[in-house]
Structure 1
Amino acid sequence: MLLEMMGTRRLIYAGCLSDLRQREGSKQMATSNPARAQTAGSTQGAPPECKWFSFHHSPNIEAEVMNSDPTVIKVINGEKLWAMTSKTCVEFYMTEPSSETNDGKINFAYFGKGSDTVVDKSGIYLTAVQISLDVDADRDGVVEKNNPHKASWTWGPDGQGAVLLVNCDKDSLLSRKVDADDNLLLSKTDLLDMSKMVLRVHGPEKLPTGYHLMVYVTPTDAQSIGVFHLHNKVYTHVLGRQKLFYRARYTGTRELEFFVEGLRFPDVDFNGLVSIKASLLENQAEGIPETPIFTDVVTFRISPLVLTPNTLDPIEVFVCSVKENYLFLKLIKTLVEESECKMQVCFEYVNRGDRWMQDEMEFGYIHAPHQCFPVVLDSPRDGGLKEFPLRQLLGPDFGYVTKLAMSEKVSSLDSFGNLEVSPPVTVGDKSYPLGRILIGSSFPTTSGRRMIKVIRDFLSAQRVQSPIELYTDWLLVGHVDEFMTFVPAPDRKGFRLLLASPGICFRILAEKKHEGHGDVTMFQGLKTERWTITKVLSTDAVVRENHYAQHCIDWNRDILKRELGLTEDDIIDIPALFRMQDGRATAFFPNMVNMIVLKKNLGIPKPYGPVIKVTCCLEDYVIDQLKPLELTCTFIDDVVSYHKQLGEVHCGTNVRRKPFAFKWWQMAEP
């Protein structure tokens, strides 16, 4: 009889005493689950004259008699006899795994009414096998033994349950796609991206005939995970996709190592939870299906893609080289060097004239206790940069993911200048330690442009950065970075929200006119229409259009205050003006909120505002507002290379940043 042992729990064999009426020396194979069970006596199965019984067992077995009157116990020749009724039960279990097959034994003797004659005997041999499927359920980077919480998954600092990474990088130069897209292990370094799983077995050298171990997954979970196992010095793909089960080799006391990879991120149709089971199976007879006699379960949650806000330290800046931006690149390079980070230039033979690095991709990362690496989220826009993330970034410990538009029509709102992330915030009693995603959309009562559903669903499914939809369809390009950004701050919440403000710009210009500078022009040194301060303030179309723009920004201001828990003291207004084009707004002069943030260094579009004495009054205002935050402002000329193309500094650059120090699995359940 085969018993399974799990951890330190004791195992009990359950069966009728009458079923055990076999002659001494016979062997019966059976099993039990690791729970208390009872062996019931039955006078129907025993000889009619049997009213008493006794039993003996080997030292590695413990037994207990239940539902037998202890006041009528007899002792004959030093042997204890128990009265047997139809409700009498004997529980017995092995206290440790077997060192060899059938090393546990229990014998029963049945006595007649007079209790002085043995009427019948039965005996049973027992074999105990300890099985435990183990993972890093306590999230300390080490696979512990038999964690009691390994079958479930909970959030929070005291949460339990293992973490799995989507194997979306490419560790081998021999591969042309992400590691998760095939069933091959082309590089051992790929194992570092996987979560370790151990099948621990403790028992005799061989299992009795008719028993074997199996590791398996459901057909649904098989589409989300892959499992590799070292066999004959080769890592073999044993589970995942079309492989639903693997018959594990049993060779006595040992540990079988498995490595588990995630195949896809959480999404609208997938909550990120997957389970793997290991069972000890019994084959009773040919033609009869195998039955599990014990099953152990482990559960993983696949890491979400975590996106990064401006306030995290930069690692690497990405920018395109195009015909008109040599001086722009030179200024960005200086800013990057001052910020002590790296810079990668994408040249024209790669970018094919597409300069909008921000629109093409968004940087984030995935994180498990044993591994963390960056991941680029590729947008569905099909510009000249469409091959850059896949061909230039995907590599060892640098992941890639994209979402295809399928039947949806892609618009400008699907570019990732329309995707930003707030710093960590607390709203009421709700904490967002990884910030919140911000995307632009249409006005709630209209049928205007909106980011496609497949991206919105994907971002929401990550759960850890609950997205907020803002109103951006009033803008011609329609991106959130056209009217807002975040900068670090040494006080309060650790950041400030900068919002474009036509109202502040009008106020500054009105003050300068009142001071006698109404004839000072904007755009000095540029070949463009002559605009004096007085002309700007007195042109009805400019005033009317910017009142509209201010209303749209104020609508978003209220949403941001409510959804991010901000007050007016957390917001700084940055002067801006807009002009209408084809019914939507574009920047009248280079839009200063569309900046690059590198620690305390800001690369701000040079506004070419009115120069009063020797400095631009708009630049002076921004410097004065940001100086208390210890931020350094560098104004970058982007008029020809970006502004006239309906973009600015932020649109033309992108930044990979350090991950949050906070671990996503320590969040309260989102």
Structure 2
Amino acid sequence: MTEQRLVRLSTEHPTSTIYVLDTEISLDVCGSAPAEATGFDVWGTSGVNLYIVHNGEVLKIPSCVPRWPLDSRVEVIVTMDTPSTEVNEDKVRISYYKGNEKTPMAKAILHLTCVEISLDADINRTGSVTRRGKNKNKWTWGPNGKGAILLVNCDKDNQMAKDMDNKDQSLKSFADLKDMSLMILTTRGPNEIFDELQLCLHISASDNDKVGVFHAQCSKMLSKYKHILGSGKLWHEVNRCSGQDAHLFYVEGLAFPDVGFAGLVSFHATLLEATTEELPCVPIFNDTVVFRIAPWIMTPNTLQPMTVYVCSSQNNMDFVADVKKLSEKAGCKVVICSAEEYENDVWFQDEMEFGYVQAPHKTFPVVFDSPRNGGLNAFPFKSVLGPDFGYVTREPVPRTFSSLDSFGNLEVSPPVTVRGREYPLGRILIGSYFPRVQGNEMVKVVQDFLYAQEVQSPIELYSDWLVVGHVDEFLSFVPASDRKGFRLLLASPSACFKLLKEKEKEGYGDAVIFEGLSGKTETTIKKILADKSFRNTNEYFQKCIDWNRNVLKEELGLTEEDIIDIPEFFEMDSEGKAQAYFPDMVNMIVLGKYLGIPKPFGPVIHEHCALEEEVRRLLEPLGLSCTFIDDMETYHRHQGEVHCGTNARRKPFTFKWWNMTP
């Protein structure tokens, strides 16, 4: 709907006003009419378009102007098409008549100066500002949606800076401008008219800590980019230099969507007109642009890996070498940090999760630092944050944590369609306690953050049955060229019992598990199958996994054909919770078709581990390559595996998040 403004007229003296391009002026014809007037006619100069609204119909005034009845149901609308070159360049005349008299009894004159005031951004999501766009004050989702997008400027383009780029109010690098969204304020019209007007750019108090704005001062000096809005600044008067048609503003996000903040922010350009010297100016026009701050998006195993992270200590040199070799085979860069520098904390997966932010003009990765705060606590901020690499974290107050706050308990599915509803960026998976029993769960500030991003609608699973309590202990996703493009892998005691029964029937009941491993009690297939207590325990843990299996099938739209059961046994600790009996093979690192799987040390039959052979049988037909990595001493004995000790940054989705409907 076109913005409309009422202008009151006078028969005693001419009235002057400003017309803003792409708006309408409604003339108060009745309010200025003499008491005995019964009709009126309208005339305007060539730069003016005149319309009469009569009985609900819009009629353009013909050149031979008829006389109109003076009736409140008759409305005169004025528009103009081009900014004026001079003040009061055009005019409209209203002539009032009594009865059928030919001579007007009074006249009201309106002088008009047309200006263009337009606050514009990339509302069409093309990467360029849309000039004089429509419906800028609304934001809609979907492939036909409209609305500008803003990135949280959470990287650090200047390596000398102490914090993220959006933590200060000065521009430290011209590269930083590329992380911001351009907003242009156009002001066209006679120079003299702007001396009489006040033009303000402003935000609401609620957006004060969500956005920052820099005004480009037509200079190549960083110091000339003035911080004008945000962080306590709500209002800025735009001073127009003679002949200056465009003002450039660079907008940065300060905060991600979260509780109480849906991610929408508004910018307003308001034109104010002076009345008298004693009274304040009054607004005569407002233009509003709405931005949505881009969400943080996680990347699933099925996306192409780019960089693998692993921590090196004196005890895991062989493990690191194996991970490095596998990563290089997959074409990944490898980042190896020293465990000594980080208090021998080697649990990279638990410390951080990689994702990204995206706008039409820019995409960059963002690391989400978990609140676990182990020895690696400083690594994401110290060694990952940098140019075009952002950082975000959430810390609970008071600082109380459980193992479920580590990001081994945070995964995301590949894209899925569930009962006709599409999730083109997948769905986040977090572990919690069983619905009917109070237990541990991920801290609320992290959960709130994940839900607020909207585009990867989280699913809560039951993981508190595990000692560590992480979802990556019983599930993983691997790519596949058929069906949905992936398979869900679930740890399965039932599948493990089935496999061992088959081997016993084949005559291999005496095959040894953990053969030759120090610190592990050797046993045989026959002994495991005969251990009723062990069987009962694993049947209970299988029911815990099956609960999650049903949730995943329902929430991800999966069938049994989409799921592969990976043999695994669990043993119970003193508190009745589960830990992997042998290295947990679902806790793998997925690098394209290359899988780094914990070496299980299962029963050796014909010089091959039966567990490894079974996993190869299940996964290699999908085009996957299985590499078994020995993590027994370095990770398994400390209740973790390959996935826990590594991390991977992946390419973003090709799908643009704004094209979906949450």
TM-score interval, normalised by the smaller of the two chains:
over 0.9
1:142 equivalent in structure 2? 128
- CA gap 1:89/1:264 in 2 versus in 1, 3 angstroms: closer
- CA gap 1:98/1:572 in 2 versus in 1, 3 angstroms: same
Q: Is 1:230 matched with 2:221?
A: no
- CA gap 1:103/1:504 in 2 versus in 1, 3 angstroms: same
SS at the partner of 1:238?
Answer: strand
Offset of residue 273 of structure 1: 0.6
Question: Is the Cα contact below 8 Å between 2:151 and 2:358 reproduced in 1?
Answer: yes
Q: Is 1:346 matched with 2:333?
A: no
Q: Distance in 2 between matches of 1:123 and 1:98?
A: 18
1:219-618 matched pairs, under 5 angstroms: 219-231=205-217, 233=219, 234-251=224-241, 252=243, 254-407=245-398, 409-527=400-518, 528-582=520-574, 583-618=576-611
Q: Distance in 1 between matches of 2:408 and 2:144?
A: 37
Aligned AA (1:197): M
2:59 equivalent in structure 1? none
Bigger mean CA offset, 322-331 vs 33-42: 33-42
Q: TM-score normalised to the size of structure 2?
A: 0.92
Bigger mean CA offset, 419-428 vs 100-109: 100-109
Question: Is the Cα contact below 8 Å between 1:605 and 1:649 reproduced in 2?
Answer: yes
1:643 equivalent in structure 2? 636
- CA gap 1:326/1:279 in 2 versus in 1, 3 angstroms: same
Offset of residue 283 of structure 1: 2.4
2:16 equivalent in structure 1? 28
Aligned AA (1:201): T
Aligned AA (2:176): D
> For residues 320-363 of structure 1, what are the alpha-carbon distances to aligned partners after superposition, in whole Å with 9 as ceiling and x for unaligned?
00121111011111101110110000112432200100000000
Q: What is the alpha-carbon root mean square deviation over aligned residues?
A: 2.5
Question: Is the Cα contact below 8 Å between 1:336 and 1:343 reproduced in 2?
Answer: yes
Q: Distance in 1 between matches of 2:254 and 2:134?
A: 27
- CA gap 1:504/1:305 in 2 versus in 1, 3 angstroms: same
Aligned AA (1:538): A
- CA gap 1:258/1:590 in 2 versus in 1, 3 angstroms: same
Q: Distance in 2 between matches of 1:336 and 1:138?
A: 40
Q: Distance in 2 between matches of 1:579 and 1:34?
A: 73
Offset of residue 286 of structure 1: 3.9
Question: Is the Cα contact below 8 Å between 2:33 and 2:96 reproduced in 1?
Answer: no
- CA gap 1:36/1:254 in 2 versus in 1, 3 angstroms: closer
SS at the partner of 1:529?
Answer: coil
Aligned AA (2:435): P
Aligned AA (1:342): K
Given the alignment, which residue of 56, 60, 67 partners 2:47? 60
Q: Is 1:40 matched with 2:29?
A: yes
Offset of residue 209 of structure 1: 4.9
Offset of residue 150 of structure 1: 1.6
Aligned AA (1:443): F
Offset of residue 106 of structure 1: 3.6
Offset of residue 81 of structure 1: 8.5
Offset of residue 206 of structure 1: 2.8
Q: Distance in 1 between matches of 2:64 and 2:407?
A: 84
Offset of residue 105 of structure 1: 2.7
Q: Distance in 2 between matches of 1:168 and 1:43?
A: 57
SS at the partner of 1:268?
Answer: coil
- CA gap 1:293/1:620 in 2 versus in 1, 3 angstroms: same
SS at the partner of 1:508?
Answer: helix
Aligned AA (2:45): S
Offset of residue 236 of structure 1: 0.8
SS at the partner of 2:308?
Answer: strand
Aligned AA (1:431): E
Quick check: which has more Rg, 1 or 2?
1
- CA gap 1:170/1:35 in 2 versus in 1, 3 angstroms: same
Question: Is the Cα contact below 8 Å between 1:10 and 1:95 reproduced in 2?
Answer: no
Given the alignment, which residue of 143, 147, 158 partners 2:144? 158
Offset of residue 547 of structure 1: 1.2
2:118 equivalent in structure 1? 132
Any stretches of 5+ residues in structure 1 without a counterpart?
1-5, 69-77
Offset of residue 253 of structure 1: 5.6
> For residues 262-290 of structure 1, what are the alpha-carbon distances to aligned partners after superposition, in whole Å with 9 as ceiling and x for unaligned?
11110111100111111111121345343
Question: Is the Cα contact below 8 Å between 1:381 and 1:410 reproduced in 2?
Answer: yes
1:71 equivalent in structure 2? none
1:619 equivalent in structure 2? 612
- CA gap 1:344/1:202 in 2 versus in 1, 3 angstroms: same
Aligned AA (2:540): Y
Offset of residue 188 of structure 1: 0.7
- CA gap 1:449/1:14 in 2 versus in 1, 3 angstroms: same
Q: Is 1:217 matched with 2:203?
A: yes
> For residues 556-604 of structure 1, what are the alpha-carbon distances to aligned partners after superposition, in whole Å with 9 as ceiling and x for unaligned?
1111111111111111111111111122111111111110000000000
Offset of residue 10 of structure 1: 10
Offset of residue 408 of structure 1: 5.6
- CA gap 1:118/1:371 in 2 versus in 1, 3 angstroms: closer
Aligned AA (2:581): F
Q: Distance in 2 between matches of 1:43 and 1:587?
A: 87
Q: Distance in 1 between matches of 2:658 and 2:596?
A: 34
Aligned AA (2:326): L
Q: Is 1:14 matched with 2:3?
A: no
2:625 equivalent in structure 1? 632
Q: Distance in 2 between matches of 1:265 and 1:305?
A: 8
Q: Distance in 1 between matches of 2:647 and 2:194?
A: 62
2:58 equivalent in structure 1? none
Q: Distance in 2 between matches of 1:366 and 1:644?
A: 37
1:72 equivalent in structure 2? none
Q: TM-score normalised to the size of structure 1?
A: 0.91
Offset of residue 514 of structure 1: 2.1
> For residues 3-23 of structure 1, what are the alpha-carbon distances to aligned partners after superposition, in whole Å with 9 as ceiling and x for unaligned?
xxx9xx79887334xx1332x
Offset of residue 200 of structure 1: 1.3
SS at the partner of 2:208?
Answer: helix
Q: Is 1:182 matched with 2:174?
A: no
Q: Distance in 1 between matches of 2:561 and 2:53?
A: 73
Any stretches of 5+ residues in structure 2 without a counterpart?
56-62
- CA gap 1:556/1:112 in 2 versus in 1, 3 angstroms: closer
> For residues 453-474 of structure 1, what are the alpha-carbon distances to aligned partners after superposition, in whole Å with 9 as ceiling and x for unaligned?
1111110110111111111111
SS at the partner of 1:28?
Answer: strand
Equivalenced residue count is 646
> For residues 162-203 of structure 1, what are the alpha-carbon distances to aligned partners after superposition, in whole Å with 9 as ceiling and x for unaligned?
111000101112311111111111001101011111111221
- CA gap 1:115/1:494 in 2 versus in 1, 3 angstroms: same
Q: Distance in 1 between matches of 2:354 and 2:482?
A: 27
- CA gap 1:276/1:621 in 2 versus in 1, 3 angstroms: same
